[in-house]
Amino acid sequence: MERAEEEERGMVIIILGAPGAGKGTQAERLVKEYGLRHLSTGDLLRAAVADGSQLGKLAQSYMNSGGLVPDDVILGVIRDYLEQNKGGGILFDGFPRTAVQADGLARLLKGNSATAVMLAVPDQLVIDRLSARRVCRSCGRVYNPALGIMPPGGRCECGGDGELYQRDDDRPETIRRRLEVFHSQTEPVLEYYRRQGTLREVDGVGAPDEVFARVKKALV
């Protein structure tokens, strides 16, 4: 029998929410719980900037200003990733960020459906969380005293130099701009999945474990 055009994927989850809504924290837990691959476009772009690759050079100015990297660039990155990582479940974190990206993803998934989980958090809480967020310069792990997550002694224990820094785009003016971008460009993505009946809205306020319990319940 001929091989079907469709390519079998396991569970596909999209985690949506404003910057600072807790997507990365919940994504880590989801990946462990369901054995998924984790694709964070933000992490991927930051790694490209750190490497000084062509993608990094292109993305850096958009990222520093709090704007979005162009859709065709992002969709190219996702297409390459899916080609190199065939089969298996996957969790998208920070993608899709626009309706065009959501449409592009549906095409790239070739008939596999995706469930979108939206973490709802009020803007003021996002501002408080992002201003407090710190990242390990060696391993990229995220800490946040606003969520009660800080390493003992204030240094990461990953074995690198342990220094924690504030992302350039976690400064107040950029946070405001990122929130505006979320409301204007990413809310249509929620609408996209709502129309398809695959959107699960979850209250993102609370300790990470509490929120995770809600996320799991929403996925049943």
Give helix 172-181 / helix 54-65 axis angle, nearest 10°. 100
Cα 115–Cα 71–Cα 182 angle in degrees, nearest 5? 65
From 14, 21, 69, 175, residue interacting with ligand AMP (rule: CB under 6 A): 69
Query: Two tokens at 57?
Result: 């050079």
For residues 215 and 15, what is the distance between their CA atoms, to the nearest angstrom?
10
From 11, 34, 62, 127, residue interacting with ligand AMP (rule: CB under 6 A): 62
189 residue type, one letter: V
> Residue 117 interacts with ligand AMP (CB under 6 A)?
no
From 12, 14, 36, 42, residue interacting with ligand AMP (rule: CB under 6 A): 42
96 residue type, one letter: P
Query: Two tokens at 153?
Result: 């002694």
CB of 120 to ligand AMP, least distance (A): 17
37 is catalytic: no
> Residue 104 interacts with ligand AMP (CB under 6 A)?
no
Site residues (CB under 6 A) for ligand AMP, limited to 162-201: 169, 178
97 is catalytic: yes
The number of C-alpha atoms within 13 Å of 22 and in the hemisphere containing its C-beta is 28
From 45, 114, 164, 189, residue interacting with ligand AMP (rule: CB under 6 A): 45
85 residue type, one letter: N
> Residue 19 interacts with ligand AMP (CB under 6 A)?
yes
Polymer length of the chain: 220
**31 and 92 in contact (C-beta within 8 Å)?**
no
CB of 19 to ligand AMP, least distance (A): 5
> Residue 74 interacts with ligand AMP (CB under 6 A)?
yes
Residues that bind ligand AMP (CB under 6 A): 19, 41-42, 45, 62-63, 66-69, 74, 94-95, 97, 101, 169, 178
Query: Catalytic residue numbers?
Result: 23, 97, 133, 167, 178
